[in-house]
Amino acid sequence: MLRRLNPSPAVRLAGILVALLALPTASGRAGEPSKAAPIPLPGGEGGIGFDDLSFAPTLGKLLIPAGRTGNLDLIDPVTRQIAPLAGFSSQGSFVQGHGEGTTSADFGRGLIFATDRTALKLVVLDPATRGVVAKADLAGSPDYVRWVASTGEIWVTQPDKDRIEIFTLPTSGPPVPAHKEFVAVAGGPESLVVDTQRGRAYTNLWKDKTLAIDLKTRAIAARWPNRCTDSRGIALDARRGLLFAGCAEGKAVVLDLLHDGAVRDTLSAGSGVDIIDYNPRLGHLYLPGGKSETMAILGVSKAGKLTLLSTVKTAHAAHCVVADDHHQAWVCDPGHGRLLLVDDTLPAIE
């Protein structure tokens, strides 16, 4: 019989560390994102027609327009507590698409600005009281709403009218938005992101173009080919000067804002891509495919080169995503009226 040797304390400690590193983490295997975890929403049973989702860093909350439920859901990304804000049009049953109730929201000047697509209203809410404080009529069916801090304005895209409607917000008194003007965007606008650093807003045309609009003059400052057959979502890395376009056919495109919108890279993944998002701290671009029922996580280098890091299984028609500041991506699941939470444990891209 062989004599059994007792290992030294250092050897035992090394063995324990190796064993711990080999175990799966709570969010999946080390270096991999977790499987998408379902997060039910109030009144979501039977489905919700999701569209634009957003995260407000200064508020520290996700803004989730919950369509037909009549709620705008505020979600704490840490505790995952959900606070539904009522006051929007509601509908008893889910219909395919996203044409009911509130479908887009943004935060600025301590207020939330949200659309009500059914009522054709721009709704202003106070997150502190969770109540509606003002409303304004919209001149057309709304898609995206975005707050422009540098001008104190609210921009609402109206693709059915090929334009953006601009509202001003008073600096004192009741915060009732007032119509100011329209910006014509023939062939669009699809999606909207504001770049205060460069004084521009970016939007797509439905076919193969991305536009830069001057925030002050309203002039279309540039038209860039984006190599999309069907342009959809848009996202921004303001620090690196990179703009991302999502293509419905299943592709991401990187445009270089420092070199007149030059295409730096493209990468195909999934199909039925619509609303995309980006985590600037990780350098990760999220590309959900509603038809492929997947979400691709792409790494973005400083030079704008794309790498497929992982693909996560999602759900049928899961076409929209929002990233928070805790390395989490929240994907919409319209058929089940819920969100799918992905914990992104993949390494950051420098």
Domain ranges of the chain: 32-343
Residue 31 banded pLDDT, cuts 50, 70, 90: low
Residue 203 banded pLDDT, cuts 50, 70, 90: very high
Homologous superfamily of 32-343 in CATH? YVTN repeat-like/Quinoprotein amine dehydrogenase (2.130.10.10)
pLDDT(17) > 50? no
pLDDT(90) > 60? yes
CB-hemisphere CA count at 13 Å for 206? 8
Cα-based torsion angle of the residue sequence 274, 280, 282, 283 in order, rounded to the nearest 10 degrees: 70
- Indicate the range of 26-35, 69-78, 84-93, 252-261 predicted with least confidence: 26-35
The confidence score (pLDDT) of residue 5 equals 36
Instruction: Compute the average pLDDT of residues 39-68.
Output: 96
The confidence score (pLDDT) of residue 350 equals 82
Distances (CA, A) of 123 to 85, 106, 138, 181: 11, 11, 10, 18
User: Which tens digit of pLDDT belongs to each residue from 141-165?
Assistant: 999 999 999 999 999 999 999 999 9
Residue 8 banded pLDDT, cuts 50, 70, 90: very low
Instruction: Report the alpha-carbon distance of residue 322 to residue 342 in Å, rounded.
Output: 10
- Indicate the range of 7-11, 117-121, 194-198 predicted with least confidence: 7-11
In this structure, what token pair is assigned to residue 312? 């996560």
Distances (CA, A) of 17 to 5, 22, 167: 20, 9, 58
Contact 291, 308 (CB under 8 A): no
In this structure, what token pair is assigned to residue 108? 């600025």
The one-letter amino acid at 77: P
Tell me the whole-structure pTM to 2 decimals: 0.90
The confidence score (pLDDT) of residue 34 equals 67
Instruction: Compute the average pLDDT of residues 169-198.
Output: 97
The confidence score (pLDDT) of residue 13 equals 37
- Indicate the range of 3-12, 105-114, 230-239, 297-306 predicted with least confidence: 3-12
Instruction: Compute the average pLDDT of residues 77-82.
Output: 97
Instruction: Report the alpha-carbon distance of residue 160 to residue 342 in Å, rounded.
Output: 33
**Strand bridging mode 284-289 / 145-148:** unpaired
Higher pLDDT, 98 or 90: 90
Higher pLDDT, 291 or 26: 291
Sign of torsion over alpha carbons 274, 81, 142, 93: positive
The confidence score (pLDDT) of residue 12 equals 41
The confidence score (pLDDT) of residue 26 equals 33
The confidence score (pLDDT) of residue 296 equals 98
298 DSSP β-pair partners: 285, 308
What 3-state DSSP class applies to 121? strand
Residue 316 makes CB contacts below 8 A (sequence gap 6+) with: 290, 293, 335
What 3-state DSSP class applies to 282? coil
pLDDT(3) > 50? no
Which backbone phi and psi does 335 adopt, to 5 degrees?
A: -60, -30
Instruction: Compute the average pLDDT of residues 21-49.
Output: 70
pLDDT(115) > 90? yes
Residue 145: its H or E element: strand 145-148
Distances (CA, A) of 27 to 30, 276, 321, 342, 343: 8, 22, 19, 8, 6
Burial of 227 (C-beta count, 10 Å sphere; 0-12/13-18/19+): middle
| Short-list 299, 297, 300, 278, CA closest to 288 | 297
